[in-house]
Amino acid sequence: MSKYPYASQVELKETGDILVIRLMGKWVLDKAAPSFNEFIERGDIRPDVSGLMLETKNLEDWDSSLLVFLNQAKEWSDGRKMEFNCDCLPHGLGRLMLQTQSAVDSRVEIVEPKGQPYFAEEVGNYTISHWCDLREFSDFLGEIIVSFFRLFTGASRMRWVDCFRSMQDTGPMALPIVGLISFLIGVTLAFQAADLLKDYGSEYFTPAFVGLAMVREMGPIMTGIVLAGRTGAAFASTIGSMKVAEEIDALRTFAVSPIDYLVLPRVIGLSIMTPLMVIYANSLGVIGGMMVAKLTLNMPVETYIQETFLNISLMDICSGLIKSSVFGMIIAYSGCLRGMNCESSSTGVGRATTSAVVTSLLLIIISNSIFAVLYSIYEI
């Protein structure tokens, strides 16, 4: 019998090629207990035994500290592919050890080492990944459309106070950055137009150039880019954080659709506020061009305003507002989609935020190109 300064005792006995381990005393956490690895390090257990057999004698009390000893013995015997017999243990102890071992084994994932994938395999993986993304896009779009139908029929759980709060966050709170960028864009366009047209003696077309560029292209595009980086990222991070905190699961538990409660107010709010922000951006862009024309071309303010309104039609303004409304839907859709599909970790929230901005910018550029083709076909 091995002597150790513990309340728990272990007796080792060899019967042929089988090592019998007898457990005695108290095996509790508040008292020190021996470790199976101690016997191996001290050389008390010969490595050429063919099996282990565990039994108890005068075992007064035990808890998880005894399970640690048993699991160490089981791991050592499994590593040498030898027999491990625990039939002589108390029924409750043996069953608990087997349950613990199976739970540990089920959480261990055996991953075979992978080499460098072939070109065809990479192409296939990318194709499958993009197809899955397209399916997620379509499913999420369908859920939003169904949510709109529920809103029109009065069956939606959307709160209008959330929509108004979203409008405030995406509109007035973004006025400074949108205004500054639009003003500087107008200044840049005016400088470029004045330098180019001055060579042909047509510098008085500068107001028309700045005005048309702002209302048809630069105003909607720059506003969409700013809102994608500011508002779309905020949508993704907010909804992603709610998913990590399991708040979205709580909504589903109470039979509240997350699309109605979280996504629909943001889509409606941003779709309404984006055209208003574009009108504000267009105005500041024209003002920036007017300042440049006054300082560099010595053009009177009245003349600049008159030339601007003479060359800009209502159709030009409406074409930019239509695009901006679509851009707002795209930004809200992308941000909410990435937030809803966020991984349940802080890293996942960061990835969802980045992906929301990239997706929004990509879809804005694609949709703007489609609008350009349609406007050219229908001569808008």
Taking Cα atoms as reference points, which of 64, 58, 52 lies closest to residue 92? 64
- Tell whether 92 and 157 lie within a shared domain: no
Highest mean pLDDT among 35-39, 87-91, 233-237 belongs to 233-237
- Tell whether 261 and 371 lie within a shared domain: yes
- Tell whether 168 and 75 lie within a shared domain: no
Among residues 92, 107, 122, the one where a domain terminates is: 107
Report the pLDDT value the prediction gives residue 27, as an integer from 0 to 100: 74
Report the pLDDT value the prediction gives residue 142, as an integer from 0 to 100: 92
In a domain, residue 114? The reply is no
What confidence category does residue 101 fall into, taking pLDDT thresholds of 50, 70 and 90? low
In a domain, residue 286? The reply is yes
Q: 277 with 223: CB under 8 angstroms?
A: yes
More reliable by pLDDT, 126 or 249: 249
What confidence category does residue 190 fall into, taking pLDDT thresholds of 50, 70 and 90? very high
Q: Per-residue pLDDT averaged across 28-36, rounded?
A: 72
Domain that holds residue 48: 8-107
List phi, psi (to 5°) of 268: -65, -45
Determine which of 103-112, 203-212, 309-318 has the lowest per-residue pLDDT on average.
103-112
- Tell whether 224 and 179 lie within a shared domain: yes
Report the pLDDT value the prediction gives residue 82, as an integer from 0 to 100: 78
- Tell whether 98 and 183 lie within a shared domain: no
In a domain, residue 125? The reply is no
- Tell whether 37 and 160 lie within a shared domain: no
Q: What is the largest CA-CA distance in the chain?
A: 111
Report the pLDDT value the prediction gives residue 339, as an integer from 0 to 100: 92
**Nearby residues of 51 by Cβ (< 8 Å), 6 or more positions away:** 17, 18, 19, 77, 82, 83, 84, 85
Among residues 107, 123, 155, the one where a domain terminates is: 107
Residue 107: is its pLDDT beyond 80?
no
Residue 208: is its pLDDT beyond 60?
yes
- Tell whether 176 and 50 lie within a shared domain: no
Query: How many domains, the chain?
Result: 2
- Tell whether 67 and 161 lie within a shared domain: no
In a domain, residue 58? The reply is yes
Q: Per-residue pLDDT averaged across 189-218, rounded?
A: 90
- Tell whether 91 and 145 lie within a shared domain: no
Report the pLDDT value the prediction gives residue 52, as an integer from 0 to 100: 78
What average pLDDT does the chain have? 84
Q: What is the model's pTM? A: 0.68
- Tell whether 103 and 162 lie within a shared domain: no
In a domain, residue 75? The reply is yes
Q: Distance (Å, rounded) from C-alpha 321 to C-alpha 38?
A: 77
- Tell whether 337 and 286 lie within a shared domain: yes
| CATH number for the domain harbouring residue 66 | 3.30.750.24
Residue 229: is its pLDDT beyond 80?
yes
More reliable by pLDDT, 33 or 1: 33
- Tell whether 215 and 333 lie within a shared domain: yes
